[in-house]
Structure 1
Amino acid sequence: MKIQIVTLFPEMVEGFFKNSIMRRAVQSGCVEYEIIDFRRFATDRHQSCDDVPYGGGAGMVIKTDPLCKALSSIKAESKRVVYASPSGKRFTQHYAENLSKEAELVFICGHYEGIDQRVIDLYVDDEISIGDYVISSGEVSTLVIVDAVYRLLDGVISSDSLSEESFHDNLLEYPQYTRPETYCSKGVPDVLLSGHHAKIGQWRLQKRLEKTLSHRPDLLETASLDANSRKILNALKEHSAKGTVDDGRN
């Protein structure tokens, strides 16, 4: 996948592609990236890219001309263009999976009070909100989307790891433990030390259902649960009502 990010602050984005899993994805050829500083397309001597909003109001708005010229320079009109915005559609794992099928993605990083609506009308295919809150940096929200998308590409992360993560099958992930076996008087659940894979699988399923029921019960409304999962869920609801939950210890 080729990822192009159009931004006023390229230094905020560059480091993301040079570290951790993304760095390996770039080195292996799974991801190609380009960062476009649209300030270079401003024509006035101050290279200004924002102006006061028509109709009045606080703040500044990203201007059409330098941003549209930057998008035109990479032929964005023929690609899928994403703009992270609090006014967009809610971002989900399913949305990330849909975007991961694209060969190329262009991301516009907004700032201040956002970008001129005409840029959205001319270029943007997906206006996406990462949550019901407002942040000051379009670079940060853009990288959240990029991070959720690129890790789904073939060759970046093993399919086994992806299949056990939160939101797979509309369930949250089970708790994870590693060495040491005891820390601050807290031990690892006995079932995870048993070597009994069937029991471990059952415990992990229970914990996924338990956490989803506690933190995101809305996900269970659309989760595809088999008979075993429904039995566990019903037991969890009953135990919760009584104030008892199996923690996997003997």
Structure 2
Amino acid sequence: MSELSISTTQNVTINFKAASVGERMLASLLDLLVKGAYIIVFSYLFFYLLELDRLLNGIDMWSRIAIMIIFFSPVLIYSVTLESIFEGQTIGKKLIKIKVVKIDGYQAGFGDYLTRWLFRIIENNMLGGLIGLIAMSVSSKTQRMGDMAAGTAIITLKNNVTINSTILEEIGETYSPVYPLVIKLSDNDMRIIKETFQIAQKNGDVETIQKLTAKILAVTGIKMQNPNQIEFIKTILKDYNFYTQNM
């Protein structure tokens, strides 16, 4: 399973695990089963119970085609619709715990999902899907052609998550916060701050810690009470968790 480095808009590099070819194929298979179940239920309901076939026999060919397209459209637009609603996931992707992300750090949008969907039509219908499989196999980021065109990749969400890899900080029930203005920051801000701080502290990168401190002060308007920048950032992380957990 290859590493996927994503540079965020704050110039912070975050490492993810790219979803394997097997995970992507399994997710696609589950999505195929969901679409197959829809077709079976639809066919039974409309053709057997409502006898829709009799209605279709009484109209012209183009009208029949239009009706069939309408009824089967959920299958046709399944992936682009669900990925747009669930921010990069279909039912299959949710079950396998993988997700579509932008490799430039931005949140993937409808245009990205649409591009992937359009390319999927080509990839799945040429050589029985072999083109997409070959593209994923040779890509260092397990990207198919649609991903390359949209600037996306699929990551796995199965990483072992501990409190150190989240925005959460261990705070006791008697903890007293210091900086109320920390609530000006968002969850995403805190995730980036924590990840950057941990890397900088591990590498003894004093310059990055100084820049991170200056950025926090500029955005929030906080006045430092502790000149120790490392302790200041640790307090910021704890304060944010205190206020967000007690809102």
Q: Could you say whether these structures have the same fold, taking a TM-score greater than 0.5 normalized by the shorter chain as the test?
A: no
**For the pair shown, which has the larger CA radius of gyration, 1 or 2?**
2
Greater strand share, 1 or 2? 1
Greater helix share, 1 or 2? 2
